[in-house]
Amino acid sequence: MTSATTRDVTATRPLGDRTGRGRLTLAGAALVLVAAAVLSLALGPTGISLDAVPRVVRALLAGGTASPEIARERLVLVDIRLTRTVLGILVGASLGITGAMMQGLFRNPLADPGLVGASTGAGLAAVAMIALGGGALAPVVALLGTEAVPVAAVIGAFATTLLLYAIATRQRQTSTATLLLAGVAIGAFAGALTGLIVFGADDRQLRDITFWTLGSLGGAAWPKLAAALPFFAVALAAAPLLARPLNALLLGEAEAVHLGIATEQAKRLAIAAAACAVGASVALSGVIGFVGIVVPHVVRLAAGPDHRIVLPGSALAGAALLLLADTIARVVVAPAELPIGIVTAAIGAPFFLWLLLRQRSGIV
């Protein structure tokens, strides 16, 4: 996918200072993620703090029957809070990194994982399963049970992504412009179909659809995480392979080809990674907007456009943002819980505007 010439180009200073601001940005994002993970484990509507961790660990190592108090602490810390924390890290990292991939691939700062149809397709399939699960899709619900909606979301993400790729590819050449325009069209069409389904839904279905489309990490469970882990792993493993091609694409697609970059291979890998990550994310947590489009911007403002920094930085920052948002969603109106999509927008939008104003003033 790369050549010696490419290595020379992608290592040049104008793409970013990997030894200065880049490393400082990655270190800062990692520290924020650690702090967010600790808060996620420590805070919640149930009055159990991190002081219980040593007791739970000792009880797990000792085996046997624990006291009712330690059993309750283990249930809250290990089976509820830790599963949410792990899910938040996986979903946030995947949304951040796929957002950075899409913005680099399309060379468009407004691009996000939804632009390749993955989010809209997953959303349409899940809403259809919720609304039609008691009717036309009842046999599917009977077969899959509580997994019907997540499975539908994954299938929807892959189906729309494959459709988009087929539309944009001719004679084994994929047009980035056609991908962009077709993605917008497919997203609009999927949105129209979703609206049509919502129009015909009853009150109970409308409530389920509304909460699902606003996102939540409340459905986290170890078996679900284990089933979705391979999909998340594809996106996270693809990032190191895409850093140099995306850096070359900053110069333009023709220039990247002349530099020896296998652009078609890079496009296929990026689209497949986005479909895997977004499909798994939507299946487990619903539709969570804002992370994929804003986090890469924040990292780029802090460290420059080098994708060797932007991709891992977006993964760390996306995970940290989602964990902080989930913690706030759980505690601010406890024992009720806010949809996480509301919190991600409320936290990220003002911070993003502040960064843009600082950049325009020449402070950053």
Mean pLDDT of the chain: 80
Sequential DSSP letters for 263-332: HHHHHHHHHHHHHHHHHHHHHHH----SHHHHHHHHHHHHH-S-HHHHHHHHHHHHHHHHHHHHHHHHHT
Give the per-residue pLDDT at 140: 78
Closest-CA residue to 308 (of 1, 4, 19): 19
At 9, is the pLDDT very low, low, confident or very high (cuts 50, 70, 90)?
A: very low
Cis? peptide before 335, omega within 30° of 0: yes
- Quote the percentage of the chain above a pLDDT of 90: 12
Share of residues in the chain with pLDDT > 70 (%): 88
* Residues found in the chain: 364
Which is more confidently placed, 211 or 94?
94
Say if residue 273's pLDDT is above 60.
yes
pLDDT at 10 over 70: no
State pLDDT tens for residues 312-353: 999 999 999 999 999 998 888 777 788 888 888 887 777 777
Give me the mean pLDDT over the 4-19 stretch: 47
261 phi-psi bin (left φ>0, alpha ψ -120 to 50, beta other): beta
Work out the burial of residue 117: count CB atoms within 10 Å of its CB; fewer than 13 is exposed, 13-18 middle, 19 or more buried: buried
* pLDDT reported for residue 6: 41
Q: Tell me, what's the pLDDT at 311?
A: 93
| pLDDT tens digits for range 157-210 | 888 888 887 887 777 777 777 877 888 888 888 888 888 888 888 887 777 777
Per-domain boundaries in the chain: 71-218+227-352
In the structure encoding, which two tokens stand for residue 317, read together?
A: 């920052």
Are 285 and 221 in contact by the 8 Å Cβ rule? The answer is no
CATH number of the domain located at residue range(s) 71-218+227-352 in this protein: 1.10.3470.10
What is the arithmetic mean of pLDDT over 74-94?
88
On whether the pTM is more than 0.75, the answer is yes
Residue 115: the pLDDT is 67
pLDDT in the model for residue 217: 85
H-helix or E-strand spanning residue 214: helix 203-214
Say whether pLDDT at 13 is over 60. Answer: no
Look at residue 151 and tell me whether its pLDDT is greater than 50. Answer: yes
Does the structure show a pLDDT above 70 at 33? yes
Phi/psi of residue 173, nearest 5 degrees: -120, 125
* DSSP state letters, 149-203: HHHHHHHHHHHHHHHHHHHHEETTEE-HHHHHHHHHHHHHHHHHHHHHHHHT--H
Provide the token pair at 344: 């991600």
Please compute the mean of the pLDDT values over residues 43-72 and round it to a whole number: 73
Between 136 and 265, name the one with better pLDDT: 265
What pLDDT sits at residue 192? 87
Out of 43-47, 239-243, 279-283, pick the least confident. Answer: 43-47
Torsion of Cα atoms, 186 then 192 then 193 then 196, to 10° = 180
Task: Please state which of the ranges 46-50, 79-83, 129-133, 283-287 shows the lowest mean pLDDT.
Answer: 46-50
Q: How far apart are CA 303 and CA 225, in angstroms?
A: 32
**pLDDT band, very low/low/confident/very high, at 8 (cuts 50, 70, 90):** very low
Residue 289's closest CA among 162, 122, 175, 42? 122
Segment 49-73 shows an average pLDDT of 73
